[in-house]
Amino acid sequence: MGGRGRGRSRTQRKHFRDGRENVWKHSRSDSNPNNSNGDSNDNTNANNSAAWEPFATQNHAFDEYYKEQGIVGAEEWDAFIASLRKPLPSAFRINSSSQFSTDLRLQLENDFMNSLQAEVADGIEAEPIRPLPWYPGNLAWQSNFSRMQLRKNQTLERFHEFLKLENEIGNITRQEAVSMVPPLFLDVHPEHFIIDMCAAPGSKTFQLLEIIHQSSEPGLLPGGMVVANDVDVQRGNLLIHQTKRMCTANLIVTNHEAQHFPSCRLNKNSCSVSEMGETGPSISELQFDRVLCDVPCSGDGTLRKAPDIWRKWQSTISDMDTYPLFKNVGMGNGLHGLQVQIAMRGMALLKVGGRMVYSTCSMNPVENEAVVAEILRRCGGSVELVDVSNELPLLKRRPGLAQWKVCDKSSWFASYKDVPESKRASIVPSMFPSGKSDTHSALNDQGSTGSEESCESAKNGDSENDINSTDSIPPASVAEEEISSFPLQHCVRIVPHDQNSGAFFIAVFHKLSSLPAAAQEKWGHSKSTNQHSKRLSKEVNKDANNLVDNLPEGVDEKASEISESDIVSESVVSHLETNLPDSLDNKVPQTSATDVDGDPDVGLEPGVCDLSKENEWEEAQVPNDGENGQQSVRGKRKLQIQGKWRGVDPVILFKDETIIGKIKNFYGIKESFPFNGHLVSRNEDNNHVKRVYYISKSVKDVLELNLQVGQQLKITSVGLKMFERQTSKEGNASPCAFRISSEGLPLLLPYITKQILCASIVDFKHLLQYKAIKFADFTDAKFGEKASELMMGCCVIVLNDGNQPLTGPVHVDSSTIAIGCWRGRASITVMVTATDCQELLERLNIRTGEGSLVQEIEPFDVKEVGDTNVNPMEI
Ligand SMILES: C[S@@+](CC[C@H](N)C(=O)[O-])C[C@H]1O[C@@H](n2cnc3c(N)ncnc32)[C@H](O)[C@@H]1O
């Protein structure tokens, strides 16, 4: 299939080159960069052009700050800055747990690497795409095209379509290269319990899930699980949206302030969870083998991707002569306290022997080395900084700094003793290398300090105000500069010009023993929400747009298509759909997507509900239905309360034996499939449960623990959607009201013995192309006959790759491809999204060497082959 579009014209190649040159420029008159006359290829020079308004990519405050910090050697400064001014290459990662991961890797290696080279620029580009050498298994790739180019340049269209489609399906994740590093240093194994403390929008959570699912056998789940937490509800919805692509039963999404993440601990007298569990070890305290603290930060490591951050470094252009300091420095100083708090809570949640990664996309030592040093200080000898210089050997990195200074407004401080009283609310000892308030005796001292209190006071200080203060403080004397005696050289700094990437900071900790009593007392259990932390988090979230480094590119794009408020309202739709009485159904906002019943089929099933909207519904009045004279009292909907949490649906263990029995019987599900305690819903009324979710043993243990400790966890999403109730006329005609969802099918497949058939590749592809086919129209008449013998309702069609027996049970292995369908009166209809159909067809066509058929298929009138009364799925 390679080489489609090989004959692109010279004009298109020129578009490509022009597009490369202008990706960062904003035209005042025309937003299309391809309309550029291309007369400038250096956007720092573009100030001369009246037609273009480039992002400012230089800033004296930035230069002064990072030169002073010695972030790179003086001889490298120009290369460092030049790299920051270039657009960031885009990167993506193949989902290693995807059934098609090898196919995708081969497609990139054998098709796109060659075709893009040939098509794009007459051989000018050395490597249009290449695997990132430090990422294991050729799974992560970098393309030398910026996201803007991929979107705008026709030559790259096929590649861009590939990225978009596979990203949507979950087979790849578009994510900045350096943002993929922290989960790798976490050294995750499939049986690990992991918490991602600040997880939204979820690119690293997704990566963690990939790793724990990587070597799962068909029909089996890994022993581990991930808790993905974020304080921001809207970003949390992006997180849910992202991780939904993973189709995992091993994830719990929560909504807490990370620094106050609740303790879930059974007291000694209560019955142990293992007494209730099925088999195997269980837990009585929620602690984690791995903790990821990818904390909120000022984000200047993402300058290449988000050049507007340059502006954050200056108040106004006219100030530049006087070097005003520095909105961004202020933000870094202001975040230091929160970062320490989140990391300390993470450390308390970490099991002894476990690993924690602290990371930021900031270059600022106050947010990086200073936080690491403070963690080591507070943890005493119970924690060590891990030397990871032998891990990911091909990743170019720098050691952490041992020396740095703290700056505020127009003053530098080398030591806390230089900080005037008026600034001590916002500049605290822990920001300095020694962490000491009394620096005369503090140099090179790593003992306990007064920094704990002062770090607390930092978060209470208003750094923004401080920046505007007019105190005049003499610069610190260089001779008194402090040097940390912690082994901060073990920290990992990634700078842009080493490997054409963004910047990142990573520190890896190993917990050797329980935290010292003082730290345990302070961080070992959750505390009530502190107003200041709330305010700080709010400020951080206000600036969330700056924290774009981690926003997977797919999310970025998706977010522009689906606004965050849309996502919230989708969750509301989902909620209302599940819980509203029938008479209100027509008031439920309809999405364009409909399932086979014509019901709204929303992309999200989070339990989060927008309370403001909820109240609107509470107030909705349903008129007297008149006919039977009964007064309707259905207008008032129950307020969702999960344990003590308002605004989220409760997570209910689904134990309805009648429904479960019917499902098992209809699909002939083998007894070996563990149902008991693994099904949950978000609706207490079994008669109105619309979706049933599956949870892994690991998640089940946590949920049971959570129930026993009074629902400490505010769970916004959990479980793999496995069964969905069919409410249409056709659905009612089936002996089983629940169909198997696409997400749940791969897990259930090896256990299904009824309602399952194998189709030839021709018939299977026809189903994907035409969505509905009459029994008589299958090319394999025997298959059509067997299809007609199935019971009305949901069925599973497996692709016969030549190894399947004509009759008898289907053999399932990791290469088996299957889709959910509906056996109607006279036809089989696929119950898979149009995107899934398209992607599966692409995969099959590549495997069978037929090239990309999808875009060449003529539109087909379904009515010619399908039941006239069954519409194909248009989910
Ligand atoms: C750097 S981003 C995380 C990116 C994410 N790890 C990823 O890879 O997609 C920081 C996140 O921290 C969240 N956040 C800010 N303050 C928080 C707090 N106090 N507790 C938990 N999350 C917080 C923000 O909402 C933001 O989503």
425 vs 506, residue with greater confidence: 506
Q: Give the other-Cβ count within 10 Å of 576's Cβ.
A: 21
Residue 777 among known ligand-binding residues? no
Sequence ranges of the domains in the chain:
181-267+276-553, 564-725, 755-865
588 vs 630, residue with greater confidence: 630
**Distance from residue 65's CA to the centre of ligand 1 (Å):** 25
Instruction: Please tell me the distance from the alpha carbon of residue 870 to that of residue 867, in angstroms, as a whole number.
Output: 5
First to last CA, the chain: 29
Percentage of the chain modeled with pLDDT above 90:
54
Number of the ligand 1 atom closest to the C-alpha atom of 257? 20
In this model, does residue 290 exceed pLDDT 60? yes
Among 141-155, 204-218, 551-565, the range with the most confident prediction by mean pLDDT is 204-218
Residue 204 among known ligand-binding residues? yes
| Predicted pLDDT of residue 642 | 79
Cβ–ligand 1 distance for 294 under 6 Å, the answer yes
Q: How confident is the model at residue 467 (pLDDT cuts 50, 70, 90)?
A: very low
Q: How confident is the model at residue 736 (pLDDT cuts 50, 70, 90)?
A: very high
Nearest-CA residue for atom 6 of ligand 1: 199
734 vs 642, residue with greater confidence: 734
Q: Give the other-Cβ count within 10 Å of 151's Cβ.
A: 16
Q: How confident is the model at residue 246 (pLDDT cuts 50, 70, 90)?
A: very high
| Predicted pLDDT of residue 816 | 94
| Amino acid code (one letter) for 384 | E
Instruction: Please tell me the distance from the alpha carbon of residue 79 to that of residue 236, in angstroms, as a whole number.
Output: 38
Q: Residues 389-399: what's their mean pLDDT?
A: 98
> 583: which 2 tokens?
């008479």
> 760: which 2 tokens?
């030839």
Reported as a single tens digit per residue, the pLDDT across 259-268 is: 999 999 877 5
Handedness of CA 469, 472, 474, 475 (dihedral sign): positive
Nearest-CA residue for atom 16 of ligand 1: 537
* Cα–Cα separations (whole angstroms), residue 533 to 253, 423, 424: 21, 20, 18
**Distance from residue 428's CA to the centre of ligand 1 (Å):** 23
Cβ–ligand 1 distance for 199 under 6 Å, the answer yes
762 vs 531, residue with greater confidence: 762
**Distance from residue 336's CA to the centre of ligand 1 (Å):** 14
Least confident range from 375-384, 585-594, 850-859: namely: 585-594
Cβ–ligand 1 distance for 182 under 6 Å, the answer no
- Site to probe by mutation for ligand 1, drawn from 93, 198, 527 as the one with most ligand atoms within 8 Å of Cβ, is 198
Q: Residues 560-574: what's their mean pLDDT?
A: 27
Cβ–ligand 1 distance for 198 under 6 Å, the answer yes
861 vs 459, residue with greater confidence: 459
Cβ–ligand 1 distance for 201 under 6 Å, the answer yes
Cβ–ligand 1 distance for 547 under 6 Å, the answer yes
User: What SS3 class is residue 193?
Assistant: strand
| Predicted pLDDT of residue 153 | 74
* Residue tagged active-site, from 297, 361, 609, 758: 361
Q: Residues 23-44: what's their mean pLDDT?
A: 35
Q: Residues 423-435: what's their mean pLDDT?
A: 94
| Predicted pLDDT of residue 806 | 64
Q: Say if residues 796 and 756 touch (Cβ distance below 8 Å).
A: yes
Q: Residues 651-659: what's their mean pLDDT?
A: 94
Cβ–ligand 1 distance for 119 under 6 Å, the answer no
**Distance from residue 293's CA to the centre of ligand 1 (Å):** 9
In this model, does residue 413 exceed pLDDT 80? yes
704 vs 847, residue with greater confidence: 704
Instruction: Please tell me the distance from the alpha carbon of residue 120 to that of residue 129, in angstroms, as a whole number.
Output: 11
Rounded to the nearest 10 degrees, what angle do helices 451-460 and 531-542 cross at?
60
| Predicted pLDDT of residue 612 | 27
Least confident range from 71-75, 435-439, 739-743: namely: 435-439
φ, ψ for residue 167 (rounded to 5)?
Answer: -65, -45
361 included as an active-site residue: yes
Cβ–ligand 1 distance for 367 under 6 Å, the answer no
Q: How confident is the model at residue 714 (pLDDT cuts 50, 70, 90)?
A: very high
Q: How confident is the model at residue 573 (pLDDT cuts 50, 70, 90)?
A: very low
Q: Say if residues 55 and 308 touch (Cβ distance below 8 Å).
A: yes
Between strands 140-143 and 652-653, the pairing is: unpaired
In this model, does residue 121 exceed pLDDT 50? yes
591 vs 859, residue with greater confidence: 859
Q: Give the other-Cβ count within 10 Å of 676's Cβ.
A: 10
Element (H, E) at 150: helix 147-152
Q: Give the other-Cβ count within 10 Å of 148's Cβ.
A: 18
> 553: which 2 tokens?
């590119």
**Distance from residue 776's CA to the centre of ligand 1 (Å):** 55
Residue 200 among known ligand-binding residues? yes
739 vs 525, residue with greater confidence: 739
Give the residue among 596, 661, 654 at the shortest CA–CA distance from 795.
596
In this model, does residue 615 exceed pLDDT 80? no
Contacts of 98 (CB under 8 A, 6+ apart): 104, 170, 171
Nearest-CA residue for atom 5 of ligand 1: 199
Number of the ligand 1 atom closest to the C-alpha atom of 201? 9
- Site to probe by mutation for ligand 1, drawn from 93, 230, 359, 533 as the one with most ligand atoms within 8 Å of Cβ, is 230
Cβ–ligand 1 distance for 231 under 6 Å, the answer yes
Number of the ligand 1 atom closest to the C-alpha atom of 292? 6
Peptide bond into 201 cis (omega under 30): yes
Q: Residues 414-443: what's their mean pLDDT?
A: 84
Q: How confident is the model at residue 637 (pLDDT cuts 50, 70, 90)?
A: low
Nearest-CA residue for atom 1 of ligand 1: 296
In this model, does residue 655 exceed pLDDT 70? yes
Q: How confident is the model at residue 150 (pLDDT cuts 50, 70, 90)?
A: confident
Instruction: Please tell me the distance from the alpha carbon of residue 386 to that of residue 354, in angstroms, as a whole number.
Output: 12
Q: Say if residues 362 and 298 touch (Cβ distance below 8 Å).
A: yes
User: What's the chain's Rg over C-alpha atoms?
Assistant: 29
847 vs 113, residue with greater confidence: 113
User: What SS3 class is residue 406?
Assistant: strand
Among 39-48, 86-95, 796-805, 849-858, the range with the most confident prediction by mean pLDDT is 86-95
Q: How confident is the model at residue 794 (pLDDT cuts 50, 70, 90)?
A: very high
Residue 138 DSSP one-character state: G
Q: Which residue reads 């018939």 in tokens?
A: 763
873 vs 580, residue with greater confidence: 873
Measure the CA angle with vertex 727, ends 723 and 728; round to 5°.
Answer: 125
Give the residue among 831, 756, 836 at the shortest CA–CA distance from 800.
756
| Predicted pLDDT of residue 638 | 59
Q: Say if residues 488 and 385 touch (Cβ distance below 8 Å).
A: yes
Q: How confident is the model at residue 101 (pLDDT cuts 50, 70, 90)?
A: very high
pTM of the predicted protein model? 0.79
Reported as a single tens digit per residue, the pLDDT across 319-378 is: 444 444 455 666 789 999 999 999 999 999 999 999 999 999 999 999 999 999 999 999
Least confident range from 338-347, 398-407, 635-644, 795-804: namely: 635-644
Give the residue among 86, 189, 177, 105 at the shortest CA–CA distance from 394.
177
* Number of helical (H) and strand (E) elements in the chain, helices listed first: 30, 30
ipTM given for this complex: 1.00
Element (H, E) at 553: helix 553-561
Q: Residues 161-183: what's their mean pLDDT?
A: 95
CATH code: domain 181-267+276-553 is: 3.40.50.150
Cβ–ligand 1 distance for 716 under 6 Å, the answer no
Q: Residues 778-792: what's their mean pLDDT?
A: 96
* Cα–Cα separations (whole angstroms), residue 225 to 210, 320, 607, 745: 11, 50, 19, 20
3-class SS letters over 288-331: EEEEEEECCCCCHHHCCCCCCHHHHCCCCHHHHHHCCCCHHHHH
Instruction: Please tell me the distance from the alpha carbon of residue 204 to that of residue 229, in angstroms, as a whole number.
Output: 12
Q: Residues 502-521: what's their mean pLDDT?
A: 95
| Predicted pLDDT of residue 340 | 98
| Predicted pLDDT of residue 771 | 96
Contacts of 864 (CB under 8 A, 6+ apart): none
Give the chain's mean pLDDT: 75
